[in-house]
Amino acid sequence: MAILVTPNTKVLIQGITGSFGARHAQLSIDYGSQIVAGVTPGKGGQFFEHGGKKVPIFDTVAEAARQTGATASAIFVPPPFAADAILEAVDAGLELAVAITEGIPVNDMVKVKRAMAGQRTRLIGPNCPGIVTPGTGKDSQGGCRIGISPGYIHKKGNIGVVSRSGTLTYEAVWQLTSRGVGQSTCVGIGGDPVNGTSHLDVIKLFNADPETTGIIMIGEIGGSAEEEAAEWIKANCKKPVAGFIAGTTAPAGRRMGHAGAIVSGGKGTAEAKIAAFKAAGIGVAVTPSEMADTLLAMM
Q: Which long-range contacts (CB under 8 A, 24 or more apart) does 269-277 make?
A: 269/221, 270/220, 270/221, 270/245, 270/246, 272/227, 273/219, 273/221, 273/226, 273/227, 273/230, 273/245, 274/245, 274/248, 276/226, 276/227, 276/230, 276/231, 277/226, 277/230, 277/243, 277/245
Quote the DSSP letter at residue 264: B
- Per the CB < 8 A criterion, the answer to whether 99 and 116 are in contact is no
Q: How far from 293 is each of 165, 243, 260, CA to CA, in Å? A: 19, 11, 28
Torsion of CA 109, 149, 76, 216, to 10 degrees: -10
- The type of residue at 160 is G
- Per the CB < 8 A criterion, the answer to whether 221 and 268 are in contact is yes
Task: Out of 24, 154, 199, 258, pick the active-site residue.
Answer: 258
Give the integer Cα–Cα distance in Å for 145 and 152.
11
- How many CB atoms are closer than 10 A to CB 52? 6
Is 258 a catalytic site residue? yes
Burial state string for 103-124 with b = 16 or more CB within 10 A and e = fewer than 16: ebeeebbeebeeebeeeebbbb
Q: Which residues are catalytic?
A: 258
